[in-house]
Amino acid sequence: MTILVAYVPRPEGRAALDKGIEIAKRRQERLLVVNAGPGGTQEDPSLALGSEVEQLETMLQNQGIMGDFKQFVRGRSAVEEINELVETQDISVLVIGLRKRTAVGKLLLGSVAQELLMTVSCPVLCVKSQS
């Protein structure tokens, strides 16, 4: 089975990655870290840049677990990419990070997090960052 982590280069993404690594080590499962965005002409803050991608790949190699980092920028949303992976891979759990919210913001999750919770067919673990 595989632990799937939805990664974004923000504190909540790093929290999801840390939790995914912890679970993968404990369960001795494969770890798949995915960073996805639709791409296009505008910069997408949800996409990891080249140097960060290299750091993530090196970190996964040094963790002593079977792990892969994949980045998708092919015109599809992160939700579409993650749903496809959940349907085509043997995913035991999807780990996503949540941002801390204001009182009003607590009424709603982020749109990607909310859509993932409503659409994926596997268990979802939501984590918050410490910062």
Is residue 10 very low, low, confident or very high in pLDDT (cuts 50, 70, 90)? Answer: very high
Which residues constitute the domain of residue 67? 2-128
Specify the number of domains making up the chain: 1
Q: What percent of the chain has pLDDT over 70?
A: 89
- Residues 25-69: tens digit of each pLDDT: 999 999 999 999 877 656 788 899 888 999 999 999 998 889 999
Query: Is 20 within 8 Å of 33 (Cβ atoms)?
Result: yes
User: Mean pLDDT across the chain, nearest whole number?
Assistant: 89
Cα 78 to chain centroid distance, Å, stands at 9
What pTM does this model have?
Answer: 0.89
Is residue 23 very low, low, confident or very high in pLDDT (cuts 50, 70, 90)? Answer: very high
Residue (of 58, 95, 96, 53) closest to 72 by Cα position: 53
Helix (H, G, I), strand (E, B) or coil at 5: strand
Provide mean pLDDT across the span 12-35. 96
CATH of the domain at 42: 3.40.50.620
Burial classification of residue 76, based on how many CB atoms lie within 10 Å of its CB (0-12 exposed, 13-18 middle, 19 or more buried): middle
